[in-house]
Amino acid sequence: MNTVRSDAAVGDGLAAWIAPGRTAVLIIDMQVDFASPQGLLGRYGVDMGGVEPALAAAERLAQSARAAGVPVLFVGLFTTPETDSPAWNERMRRRGGDPEVDAALCRLGQVGSDFYGPKPAPGEPVIAKTRYSGFVGTDLDARLRALGVDTLVVAGLTTECCVDSTVRDAFDLDYHVFVAADACAAYEADLHAASLKVMELNSAILTDTAAVAAAWKGAA
């Protein structure tokens, strides 16, 4: 199923809608524990095959943004025992999981929290979060407002979780949100497709990295 909008209205408007003077790129949770076969989820046996193309696409997106003068912000999960969510831990217990093991994802200062694939360039902001959404408990909104940004192009992991949560909050904060569908991934293809469909229905416009790069090249 093709989840990317290709109608004329989107194509004709994209360059203006994501003009460099108003737009920032968010790259969400592309970290070792979520994206690398050597990370925590990879060692548990989660298949990273669907993630690899998204990492490459997100790297291309970041390069296109930098070339166009568009700010790139990296949003990552950085956990400590003090910031662990009691509600999240209890939910894991009720589902039969081991909160102590699962809570070890992206521990601050450990290799699992390192960015994997696209990495921040010198001077690019890193937003440290402890919940799904990049806006919860962070200064992301204030940073974006200070940049004069009202539009976001979003990439990251996983489509149905932290990407979706961040996109919903961004839309509720009155940002215009575009999701680079090929620069997002889930561990199951149906979850990825379903989440893109829901975001397109409710809170975002879908695009891809090639269309974004072409729009920015035309605006240069």
- Select from 128, 87, 137 the least CA-distant residue to 108: 128
What are phi and psi for residue 99, nearest 5 degrees?
Answer: -60, -35
Please tell me the distance from the alpha carbon of residue 62 to that of residue 142, in angstroms, as a whole number: 21
Annotated catalytic residues are 29, 129, 162
